[in-house]
Amino acid sequence: MHKEQRTFIAVKPDGVKRGLVGEIIKRFENRGFKLIGLKMLDVTSEMAEKHYAEHKGKPFYDRLIRYIQSGPIVAMVWKGYDVIIGSRQIMGATSPVDAQVGTIRADFALIKEYNVVHGSDSEESAEREIAIYFNEDEIHDEYENMAEMVIEDLG
Ligand code: UDP
Ligand code: MG
């Protein structure tokens, strides 16, 4: 059964620098997901460490923290049916050589470390990550989008 969820998605600094913001947003909109939060910001050290706490101690951690702070990111909250697994599917595997062709990372990422986009991997991490980047009053869920209307019609 489908389940309505929220997730945190970010265009990482390499994606912003390469002009891929519109391309990435388009892919989530095409799928029928609903954009409910959006901002461009510089990630602080504190935010970066909170965001990537699960990776602390791993060999790639220091570079990951530098990477996410190497330029502005575009932070987003998306809502939709099964949006967490659905957005992971749209993004593809962490490394572009493992990702399916047609996913964002297969189509645009240069290497595993610089892979253009972030997306939460569970409901728990989604809510934790949303809270790092957004206040609830910055999230706009009051309008109905097409996917919500269609699914309502189908029951
Ligand atoms: N990463 C890396 N080297 C690795 C694995 C991951 O540099 O061997 C980076 C990469 O930018 C990745 C992020 O760390 O997106 C978080 O890793 P995770 O395993 O959570 O991958 P994701 O959930 O982003 O697919
Ligand atoms: Mg992850």
| pLDDT score recorded for residue 106 | 98
DSSP string, 23-40: HHHHHHHHTT-EEEEEEE
Our answer on whether the CB atom of 121 is closer than 6 Å to any ligand 1 atom is yes
Q: Is the pLDDT of residue 1 over 80?
A: no
Enter the tokens of residue 48: 């970066």
Question: Considering the entire predicted model, what is its pTM?
Answer: 0.97
- Is 2 an annotated catalytic residue? no
| pLDDT score recorded for residue 148 | 86
SS3 of 37-72: EEEEECCCHHHHHHHCHHHCCCCCHHHHHHHHCCCC
Return d(Cα 114, Cα 21) in angstroms, integer: 15
Q: Which residue has a Cα nearest atom 7 of ligand 1?
A: 113
CATH number reported for the structural domain that contains residue 150 in this entry:
3.30.70.141
Q: Which of 2, 51, 118, 140 is catalytic?
A: 118
Domains contained in the chain, number: 1
Nearest to 136 by CA among 33, 4, 6: 6
Residue-number span of the structural domain to which 43 is assigned: 4-154
- 41-99 confidence digits (pLDDT tens): 999 999 999 999 999 999 999 999 999 999 999 999 999 999 999 999 999 999 999 99
Residues 6+ apart with CB under 8 A from 59: none
Our answer on whether the CB atom of 50 is closer than 6 Å to any ligand 1 atom is no
Q: Is the pLDDT of residue 155 over 80?
A: no
Length of the chain in terms of residues written: 155
The answer to whether 80 touches 36, Cβ cutoff 8 Å, is no
